[in-house]
């Protein structure tokens, strides 16, 4: 039973600056026993306390290589699951707020994917003709599904290479949960649009005819990122009208139309590195999450680089923003008190199969 000073109700009443001081004090006392991980999209008042920063997969591998007993992941649920899968059995992964999820990941669940697999089996033999690919932004049980069915995991930086591997195994791909990453990656390989069809998981047979399934190369799960779908081609055309010499860079979770209109398309790490290596004084329109764009705008301001967020509306990952200074302080102080709160633990068999799919990806990329 948690005592009053270690209950979250106590912490949620604290001001942000008070929590910041308590986080710093707790980190100093915990020392190397604990490592704090923060995703690129994390809010600034949490990101500043991180020991390690990066995208989700990079963070998980970096954390697994540390000697820390506790991995406090300031991200979302699927990221903490990957950290648990890849870390040692003695390391404990903590998600400061269990409500920090991912709307895209939630668009594909195991029951829907298994039902789709059964429906596809009425048209063809999926075990012989379809490679399931799940984006890293998915639950552990979907990664396990891919591990069990000779499938694989991909990231936004290696999706094209993973598709090439998949087509060398079987003629078709079921790609979930993000249709936009799958479509853009297929386009990069020269696959015609008519051979990349949407699988609507709310419709029988995905809303497709047997002929459409047989003719398709990629079955794209009808999922998307709620942040990246906000960006529109007209945002780019407006920017180009105002700044003809400006450059546009977008994440592949954006729509095909946005990616096609951009000068560069790539992962969060790619976006950061591309702008970092660009000439001083360049102007950029960036199509990805607001916290990251704001952070790099400040970082590269001394170089005369002007970095502008693509949408006129505020678009941030609201679920990741649930990790706030109050939850982080609460998690750390409970560790000091000998309590482990919000541990993320993937069941052993599920973790084994999920790691199989992850390892396939690593061996390729």
Q: Please give the biggest Cα pair distance in the chain.
A: 63
What is the tally of structural domains in the chain? 3
Of 179, 201, 226, the residue that ends a domain is 226
Tell me: do 205 and 115 sit in the same domain. Answer: yes
pTM: 0.93
Tell me: do 201 and 215 sit in the same domain. Answer: yes
For residue 188, being part of any structural domain is answered with: yes
For residue 292, being part of any structural domain is answered with: yes
For residue 169, being part of any structural domain is answered with: yes
Tell me: do 188 and 264 sit in the same domain. Answer: no
For the record, the structure tokens of 49 come out as 């306390």
* pLDDT given for residue 351 in this prediction: 97
Tell me: do 203 and 235 sit in the same domain. Answer: no
Tell me: do 211 and 232 sit in the same domain. Answer: no
* pLDDT given for residue 84 in this prediction: 96
* pLDDT given for residue 1 in this prediction: 43
For residue 211, being part of any structural domain is answered with: yes
CA distances from 284 to 40, 72, 264, 276, 305 (A): 18, 33, 11, 11, 8
Of 202, 226, 250, the residue that ends a domain is 226
Name the percent of the chain in helix, strand, coil, to the closest 5: 50, 15, 35
For residue 360, being part of any structural domain is answered with: no
Tell me: do 233 and 215 sit in the same domain. Answer: no
Q: 305 is in which domain, residue-wise? A: 228-309
Q: How many CB atoms lie within 10 A of CB 269?
A: 16
For residue 361, being part of any structural domain is answered with: no
Tell me: do 46 and 142 sit in the same domain. Answer: no
Tell me: do 327 and 302 sit in the same domain. Answer: no
**CATH code of the domain in which 272 resides:** 3.40.50.10800
* pLDDT given for residue 316 in this prediction: 59
Q: How far apart are CA 282 and CA 296, in angstroms?
A: 13
Tell me: do 222 and 122 sit in the same domain. Answer: yes
Tell me: do 194 and 243 sit in the same domain. Answer: no
Tell me: do 149 and 221 sit in the same domain. Answer: yes
Tell me: do 141 and 185 sit in the same domain. Answer: yes
For residue 365, being part of any structural domain is answered with: no
Q: How far apart are CA 126 and CA 19, in angstroms?
A: 52
Look-up of token digits 């680089």: 305
Q: How far apart are CA 230 and CA 339, in angstroms?
A: 40
For residue 314, being part of any structural domain is answered with: no
Q: What is the pLDDT along the chain (365 residues), one digit of tens a residue?
A: 455 567 899 998 999 999 999 999 999 999 999 999 999 889 899 999 999 998 888 888 888 899 999 999 999 999 999 999 999 999 999 999 999 988 888 899 999 999 999 999 999 999 999 999 999 999 999 999 999 999 999 999 999 999 999 999 999 999 999 999 999 999 999 999 999 999 999 999 999 999 999 999 999 999 999 888 999 999 999 999 999 999 999 999 999 999 999 999 999 999 999 999 999 999 999 999 998 999 999 999 999 999 999 988 765 566 767 899 999 999 999 999 999 999 999 999 999 999 999 999 999 97
Closest CA to 77 of 62, 96, 64, 49: 96
């Amino acid at each position: 039973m948690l005592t009053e000073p270690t209950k979250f109700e106590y912490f949620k009443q604290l001001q942000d600056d008070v929590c910041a001081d308590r986080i710093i004090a707790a980190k100093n006392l915990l020392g190397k026993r604990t490592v704090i991980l923060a995703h690129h999209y994390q809010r600034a008042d949490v990101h500043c306390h991180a020991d390690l920063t990066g995208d989700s997969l990079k963070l998980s591998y970096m954390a697994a290589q540390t000697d820390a007993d506790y991995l406090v992941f300031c991200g979302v649920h699927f990221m903490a699951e990957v950290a648990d899968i890849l870390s040692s059995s003695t390391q404990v992964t903590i998600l400061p707020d269990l409500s920090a999820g991912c709307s895209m990941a939630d668009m594909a669940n195991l029951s829907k994917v298994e039902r789709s697999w059964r429906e596809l089996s009425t048209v063809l033999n999926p075990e012989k003709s379809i490679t399931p690919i799940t984006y890293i932004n998915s639950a552990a049980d979907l990664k396990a599904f891919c591990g069990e069915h000779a499938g694989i995991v991909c990231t936004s930086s290696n999706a094209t290479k993973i598709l090439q591997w998949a087509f060398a195994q079987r003629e078709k791909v079921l790609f979930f949960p993000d249709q936009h990453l799958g479509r853009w990656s297929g386009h990069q390989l020269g696959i015609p649009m008519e051979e990349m069809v949407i699988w609507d998981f709310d419709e029988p047979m995905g809303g497709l005819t047997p002929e459409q399934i047989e003719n398709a190369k990629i079955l794209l799960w009808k999922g998307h990122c709620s942040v990246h779908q906000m960006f529109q081609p007209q945002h780019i055309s407006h920017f180009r009208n105002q700044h003809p010499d400006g450059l546009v860079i977008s994440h592949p979770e954006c729509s095909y139309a946005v990616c096609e209109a951009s000068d560069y398309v790539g992962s969060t790490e790619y976006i950061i590195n591309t702008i970092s290596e660009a000439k001083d004084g360049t102007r950029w329109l960036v199509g990805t999450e607001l916290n990251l764009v704001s952070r790099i705008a400040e970082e590269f301001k001394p170089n005369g680089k002007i970095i502008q967020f693509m949408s006129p509306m505020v678009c941030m990952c609201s679920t990741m923003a649930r990790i706030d200074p109050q939850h982080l302080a609460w998690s750390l102080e409970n560790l000091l008190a000998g309590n482990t709160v919000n541990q993320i633990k993937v069941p052993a068999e599920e973790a084994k199969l999920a790691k199989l799919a992850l390892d396939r990806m690593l061996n390729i990329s």
